[in-house]
Amino acid sequence: MHPKRVSLGIAGGLGPEKAAALAPRLEEAGFHTLWVNETPGHNALDVAAAAARETDRLRVATGVIPVDRRPASELLDDIARLDLPADRLTLGIGSGQASKGALAMIEQTLVDLREGTDAALAVGALGPKMRALAAAHADAVVLNWLTPDAAADQRREFEGSATDVVLYVRTNVDGSARGRLEEEADRYAGFPKYCANFERLGFAARDTVLPPPGDAEIAPRLDAYAAAVDEVVLRAITPGDHLEEFLRFLPLAA
């Protein structure tokens, strides 16, 4: 594996059963964390707990839970109900669809969560104000859809901070999944907040994926990402979200 931390990201829709089967293989392969995206109709903490129960060292994380829909009290209840190991859990939160008051909402949620859990807390951040809040109050910041150069630029904002910089990178290693990968990029590019952010940064969502357009290998650009941040989360896009496809992905990513 790379000298810096490399992790795997999955959608919550993959479900607890598949996550439980995948997790020991991730641990064996040397991945740092299994990050679970919360998707509509699926509780990321349920999926993370299933993975944690099948492993001893692998960290589990949520990337990220929108607290405009799920408040701190609900998340703390889930952590207790699922008996999630706080020493291996990173609870990633984001502002969801909130715009007005988003910074204050995230800051208060971090305060409430600190009172109820010893898990590491991460904040999904798109703009500079949310990144500054993460640097001041969170254990980690979760970045998204960046080129290596842009990731390195944003990493410099955290110099002098103890906050880890985590970057999600969408990737496929099966050529037949390329269409799904590009559809995912185009979907995010259509969200107003992301569209405005891409315009500010001067590149498109498709410019941030692995492998880059026209290339077949993920390794060279993965090295560039790993040099830019503290942890790279390979958000694996497979042809059909089947367990066997993720298992085939592991040695290729390593």
From CA 103, how far away is CA 184, in angstroms rounded?
A: 27
pLDDT of residue 203: 97
Percent of the chain surpassing pLDDT 70 = 98
Q: What is the pLDDT of residue 59?
A: 98
Provide CB contacts within 8 A for 116, sequence distance 6+.
72, 76, 79
Give the model's pLDDT for residue 174.
Answer: 87
Task: Tell the residue number behind the tokens 């590019």, with chain if given.
Answer: 189
- What pLDDT is stored for residue 219 in this prediction? 85
Do 233 and 63 touch, CB atoms closer than 8 A?
A: yes
Q: How, if at all, do strands 33-37 and 5-11 pair? A: parallel
| pLDDT for the residue 58 | 97
The reported pLDDT for the residue numbered 252 is: 67
Per-residue confidence of the chain (254 residues) as pLDDT tens digits?
444 799 999 999 999 999 999 999 999 999 999 999 998 899 999 999 999 999 999 999 999 999 999 999 999 999 999 999 999 999 999 998 877 899 999 999 999 999 999 999 999 999 999 999 999 999 999 999 999 999 999 999 999 999 999 999 999 988 899 999 999 999 999 999 999 999 999 999 999 999 988 888 888 899 999 999 999 999 999 999 999 999 988 886 65
Per-residue pLDDT at 220: 86
pLDDT per residue as tens digits for the range 131-182: 999 999 999 999 999 999 999 999 999 999 999 999 999 999 888 999 999 9
Residue 123's CB is within 10 A of a number of other CB atoms, namely 26
Give one word for 192, left, alpha or beta, with left for phi > 0 and alpha for psi -120 to 50: alpha
Asked if 124 and 94 count as a contact pair (C-beta separation under 8 A), the reply is yes
Paired tokens of 112: 């409430």
Number of domains in the chain: 1
Query: Domain containing 231: what range?
Result: 5-253
What one-character DSSP code corresponds to residue 12? G
Quote the pLDDT of residue 2. Answer: 44
Domain CATH for 129: 3.20.20.30
Q: What is the DSSP letter of 210?
A: B
**Residue whose entry in the numeric block shows the structure tokens 């880890």:** 164
Give the whole-angstrom CA distance, residue 73 versus residue 203. 38
